[in-house]
Structure 1
């Protein structure tokens, strides 16, 4: 992850594109771990709220950093918390629908459906603001605090997380899903696989996931929640102080 962001911030300074290869599996591993976290957490709502707060903090932090520093036309959009929040919210919606069907409670089913489509509603609001040429207004800042796939660092690929949740009882199917999504990210344009589009290398995430034993390791939750935004902001500021522009 750190190597990937070094490439992102310093590519214009000569960091080669192949450095980006190392970071491609990271988001996929995060999505897989979000499934494990959602399944095993003692408080799913608290898990969701923690991801949402992380998203808000990083969105505001990104705006503050870019107010004082600049890399030219390079926009600081990194915020994996948004991807993870939408993914986990979708898992929560799927779980709610399942519970509603088991208990014959239509209200729960509709509630689960609403949770799943809520980020898409937020995306619609953002599109409305943009289509009204309000991109530089306070309205844009407000909708930027509503997590949606248009703001997501990985776009609609974030829904790989809920897909892995649906396949959680079969590790082999999870691995096949990752490979399939990796293939789809190429757009079947194989001529660009080693030139401009490296996202397909996300399939390498199947290696650590295959060997994952399902046991809880050492808890470093607080460290990673802090390290993720801080290292991105620091790298961006360093690149700006070095005069790097895109």
Structure 2
């Protein structure tokens, strides 16, 4: 990790560093998820609570600075679909019924880019064609919610094997917020994007969401600790290896799931 990225600042983190921190915490969390039937302690789950927030933050950075926002969104969408297919295949092939794989952070991140694209439209209002940009912005914000409404009756209906297979395909292709791994918390992504140039406002937004979860008595309040690496972010990208993260995410879950099933 970076120990000195700017003169006068002894310990600052790059985007790469924050991703690595997120990955380490995520592995601990998924170890708990897959090894819970074998007695993995519940407190291991606490390590995973800041993970989504860290990846929300790095996705805001990635979307903000990418050379092609459409290409960035397409990459996340393809990853979302592939991840959903891999999780279904893994469960079907291994058949470890004690653990259900619903993991797909790529869906959350892709939904977040839809919201950020909507904000981009609102920010273009000053350039002219205000009605067009406002309409596009509203439409983009509504898409993940409308897709959720459409999916509700389909998810509640039982059917033949063919219908169930079709349902799994539709679920894999659908960026509905109802299907997001972190549910409504995905709305933190557009908030972080709005304040992308105001770090203290980003940190305050995370703290407010953590406080809400705390008042509800949910362990997700531990996401508050994500503000530490985010506060230490130097503004530097650091090392590349972007495709490593896309590959590592499904790979480590499949390995942990298969190992837990074998031991069980």
What is the TM-score normalised by the length of structure 1?
0.90
Pick from 90, 106, 110: which aligns with 1:85?
A: 110
Indicate whether 1:224 and 2:245 are aligned: yes
Q: Which runs of 5+ in 2 are unaligned?
A: 1-25
| TM-aligned CA deviation for residue 95 of structure 1 | 0.5
Q: What is aligned with 1:163? A: 191
Q: What is aligned with 1:182? A: 210
Indicate whether 1:109 and 2:134 are aligned: yes
**Could you report, residue by residue, the CA deviation over 1:87-140 in whole angstroms, capped at 9, with x for unpaired residues?**
011001111122135313422321222121111121112102124445962442
In 1, Cα distance between the equivalents of 2:206 and 2:243?
28
The list of structure 1 runs, each at least 4 consecutive aligned residues, that deviate by more than 6 angstroms after superposition, is none
Q: What is aligned with 2:123? A: 98
Aligned length: 236
Pick from 51, 63, 74: which aligns with 2:76?
A: 51
Q: What is aligned with 2:19? A: none
Residues 38, 44 of structure 1: 8 Å contact kept: yes
Query: Secondary structure in 1 aligned to 2:178?
Result: coil
In 2, Cα distance between the equivalents of 1:189 and 1:128?
29
Residues 123, 149 of structure 1: 8 Å contact kept: yes
In 2, Cα distance between the equivalents of 1:122 and 1:15?
36
In 2, Cα distance between the equivalents of 1:107 and 1:134?
42
**Could you report, residue by residue, the CA deviation over 1:138-167 in whole angstroms, capped at 9, with x for unpaired residues?**
442233021111211111101111111112
Residues 101, 109 of structure 1: 8 Å contact kept: no
Pick from 28, 31, 44: which aligns with 1:19?
A: 44
In 2, Cα distance between the equivalents of 1:113 and 1:142?
27
**Could you report, residue by residue, the CA deviation over 1:13-58 in whole angstroms, capped at 9, with x for unpaired residues?**
1111121222211110100111111111110000000000000000
What is the TM-score normalised by the length of structure 2?
0.84
In 1, Cα distance between the equivalents of 2:261 and 2:178?
26
| TM-aligned CA deviation for residue 215 of structure 1 | 1.0
Q: Which runs of 5+ in 1 are unaligned?
A: 191-196
Residues 129, 139 of structure 1: 8 Å contact kept: no
